[in-house]
């Protein structure tokens, strides 16, 4: 079943609306809602427009439409086709009601909290996969969900960690390269001194002796 729903702005992750979940669901999904915030932070204009992200016993399904991301947390056994059909209904209604306001500057978190009424009503329709309406939706070719990318939350977190580490390693490599460059310059100078230093000293001594003999004697 659909457990919880969150709508956020893609450009900055600002939460726009969320379902009002009961205390049991809030406790059960506390960790997953934190993961949802991580997903919103990772999204940008180039992200997959539709995606499913598996995490433990649940799956995050989301649709990006305009500058808004519509995300629901579902049981792993819940049909993807119904999850995306549910999100599609939210997209249509939210766009009609608040689409022009999403990009307003100074918008406060959960500015469209009243949208919960529609989310709750729609969620109830999609709760039972055995109802005739939902069975019909499952049999209809509403959308080819097999083409929607599926990711794993651990991979998503690992890739983010890797990027952070790569950035750190990049800085360390730059510092190391500068240090090696300075050492190489120092070693090259020492090599030049060893190679040309003695002959230069001998030549200098000879020239000094010749100049002394010319000017003094």
Residue with tokens 């000094």: 208
Query: Is residue 48 predicted with pLDDT exceeding 60?
Result: yes
- φ, ψ for residue 2, nearest 5 deg: -75, 120
2-9 β-sheet, strand order: 15-18, 2-9, 68-75, 58-65, 50-55, 149-152
pLDDT at 98 over 60: yes
The bridge status of strand 50-55 relative to strand 149-152 is parallel
Residues 53-79 have pLDDT tens digits of 998 899 999 999 989 999 999 999 998
Kindly report, residue by residue over 109-129, the tens digit of the pLDDT: 999 999 999 999 999 888 865
How many whole angstroms separate alpha carbon 82 and alpha carbon 76? Answer: 12
pTM over 0.75: no
């Amino acid at each position: 079943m659909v457990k919880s729903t969150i709508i956020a702005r893609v450009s900055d992750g600002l939460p726009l609306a969320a379902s009002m979940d009961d205390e049991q669901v809030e406790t059960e999904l506390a960790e997953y809602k934190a993961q949802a915030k991580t997903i919103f932070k990772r999204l940008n204009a180039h992200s997959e427009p539709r995606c499913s992200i598996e995490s433990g016993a649940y799956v995050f399904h989301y649709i990006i439409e305009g500058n808004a991301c519509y995300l629901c947390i579902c049981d792993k056994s819940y049909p993807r086709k119904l999850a995306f059909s549910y999100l599609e209904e939210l997209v249509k209604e939210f766009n009609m009601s608040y689409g022009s306001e999403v990009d307003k500057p100074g918008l406060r978190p959960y500015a469209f909290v009243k949208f919960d009424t529609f989310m709750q009503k729609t969620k109830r329709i999609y709760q039972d996969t055995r109802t005739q309406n939902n069975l019909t939706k499952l049999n209809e070719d509403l959308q080819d969900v097999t083409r929607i990318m599926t990711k794993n939350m651990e991979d998503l977190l690992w890739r983010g960690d890797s990027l952070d580490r790569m950035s750190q390693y990049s800085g360390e490599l730059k510092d190391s390269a500068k240090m090696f460059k300075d050492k190489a310059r120092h070693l090259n100078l020492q090599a030049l001194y060893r190679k040309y230093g003695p002959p230069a000293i001998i030549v200098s001594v000879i020239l000094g002796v010749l100049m002394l003999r010319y000017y003094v004697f």
